[in-house]
Amino acid sequence: MIRIVALGEVAPEIIEPLLRPGEMFISEPTEADLAEADAAIVRAAYRVDEHALDAMPQVRVLARTGVGTDLVNLDVTRERGIPVVITPGSNTNAVAEGVFAHMLSLVKYLPDLDALVRDDRWNDRTTVPAADLDGKTLGIVGYGRIGKRVEKIARAFDMNVRAYDPIAEIPAEFRAETLAELLAASDIVTLHLPLTADTAFLINADSIDEMRPGAILINCSRGGLVDLDAAVRALDSGKLGGFGVDVFDPEPPMHHELFDHHRVSLSPHLMGFTQQAMIATVQDALRGIQKVFDGDQSVALA
């Protein structure tokens, strides 16, 4: 019997229809279950370090929902010969739509307009500088699956697009050669990069200075990409015209003064975990585990 455990919340009804003969899923594993586990589906906020792996001495594969592995100690998994599977593509559209949810809220000043109606201040509506996406330049930092999907949606809004990625190929007609070039050209900047030593605090006081006055920043990627203190100062000065945030470091975050700013749109790392996306990413994680047990190591990172 192959025992597959959940590390984090995974609804059994999503997994059980896809289980094959000889496979068992345990949604709320005990210490004994972990000790006998052959595989684990790891939810986004669950940290897999040496201690967690010590509790699962028989585990032969980990499947991490989503694409980020910053909470998985890959050095230890490689040392122990444990393949790690990710689920690229399963929540691409959800994240991309989440970017535009934040973007539209900020550009259209939806919280301000909502307050006018609720507070019986209808006649103040002309004081709110609501704008359009049409004709705005969107700068996409990171041109992977999600970045490409964001670009496609932006075209439907008749936005201009610039994209920067130090690795991915980008069509010449909208490629920015440097981050600074993209920041200077963009009315709205959206981040779609992994968190690494090179990208930590990529958006800081210096890089914000390179942005257009009043530009809007969206981060639905990784919290550690942005220096929140620098972002608050930029919002207060008007250098940033708005900041949409779905991701934090750590999660859940401690209260930050950013949360009190009226030009900040917040969500609790949920843009990639809509109902459809959550089902897809968890099921893809199971399929990845099954492929590894079938001998297909090509689906694994390590």
- Name the H helices within 137-274: 145-156, 179-185, 205-209, 228-237
DSSP at 243? E
Question: For the CA atoms of the chain, what is the radius of gyration?
Answer: 21
Cis peptide before 17 (omega within 30 of 0): no
The type of residue at 70 is D
Residues acting as catalytic residues: 222, 251, 269
Q: Which residues, at least 6 apart from 38, have a Cβ–Cβ distance to it below 8 Å?
A: 2, 3, 4, 58, 59, 60, 61, 293
* Alpha-carbon gap, residue 200 to 194, rounded angstroms: 9
Strands 84-86 and 23-26: unpaired
